[in-house]
Amino acid sequence: MKKKILVAVDGSYCSLNEIHYLSKLFGEHEDISIHLITIVSGSLPPSSEWLNEEDKMNMLSPEARNKINLAKKHLREETAFLTHHGLKEEQVTSAMQLSRTGVANDLIHEMHKGIYDALVIARRGLGKLQELVLGSVTTTILEKCFNVPIWIIDGEIDSRRFLVPVDGSWRTLKAVDHLGFMLANVPDIEIALFHSLSWLTPKKILGLDKFCDIWGRQWCDEHLSGPDAIFRGPEQLLRENGFDMTRVSRVEVSRGPVAALDIIHELGEKKYGTIVMGRRGPDEPKGIFGGVSGQVLRTVNGIAVWLVN
């Protein structure tokens, strides 16, 4: 099954980091479809939908027309970068649209409309279009979007090493499931399944009902039992997606009082390129120090963060 990725770009150096990351990960991999989208401000009068493209452009202010022309130029350059680094032309599409309800809301609308497997955004940065301020856009999307995985790219990332915290919850297992699906048959991926034994982190008790709703009773009975169930379930999901299990390792540590500190310390020690994390829904309680994914996202830099609900 071909995976569909929506990528928010604006021509800034941060957007180039997104394109670089995707080209390093999926260059020459045919089982992927990438749609680049740029959203710029500029309003049209009501009932202008029936107008052709030239008439719409003529109704915009000179400033808005300049932004649109610049956006189209950046999209051509970003598309060319991806195709130059191994993706085929038919794998990369692009679109520019005027903002209707704000950049973040427009991205969420497009994400739901297109049935994408992930949304890719840069962590921060002000682009040449002076519109897509990805710091605030990212925050708004994280606050509103909980049904599509979000990949947040910070910096130029070359490493193909992935850190995946696991704690026995169904959310972390969903994060592994997403990783396995998106990177199935992608070569040279290294994965570390990381479990923190921090003394202030509540220990998860496996209640199988939610797991069974997603993966089925038979699968859960077979792979979520035993003293090492925290690792066995994630390993099985990766195995089923064809991963070379010699490149999948277990890491179990207890350095700090909370899991987030252990994760941050691990990221600082090793040369990981990406961390893949499950995160709680908007109404679920978080620990006294806030959610682990939020703490990690606020602290780390120079890494890609995948957040999966």
Residue 25, token pair as written in the block: 């990960």
Asked if 3-153 and 161-308 have one fold, the answer is: yes
CB of 250 closer than 8 Å to CB of 234:
no
Q: What is the pLDDT of residues 18-59, one digit of tens each?
A: 999 999 999 989 999 999 999 987 666 555 555 565 666 666
Q: What is the pLDDT of residue 198?
A: 81
Query: What is the CATH T-level fold of the domain 161-308, as seen in this structure?
Result: Rossmann fold (3.40.50)
CA 296 to each of CA 142, 156, 165, 168, 175: distance values in angstroms, whole numbers, following the listed order:
14, 19, 11, 19, 15
> Which of 307, 309, 285 has the alpha carbon at shortest distance from 150?
307
Which of 293, 300, 274 shows the shortest CA–CA distance to 120?
274
Which segments of the chain have a pLDDT < 50?
125-134, 287-289
pLDDT at 16: 94
Class of domain 3-153: alpha beta
Domain edges within the chain = 3-153, 161-308
Task: Find out whether 36 and 15 touch, Cβ atoms under 8 Å.
Answer: no
CA distance 273 to 157: 6
**pLDDT at position 173, please?**
95
| Model pLDDT, residue 243 | 96
Residues 7, 36 contacting (CB under 8 angstroms)? yes
Tell me what pLDDT residue 127 has.
42
8 Å CB contact between 24 and 158: yes
Task: Check residue 45 and give its pLDDT.
Answer: 56
- Contact (CB, 8 A) for 142 and 7: no
CA–CA distance, 27 with 10 (Å, rounded to integer): 21
Q: Quick one: pLDDT at residue 42? A: 65
The Cα–Cα gap between 296 and 182 comes to 22
What pLDDT shows up at residue 287? 47
pLDDT at 280 (0 to 100): 79
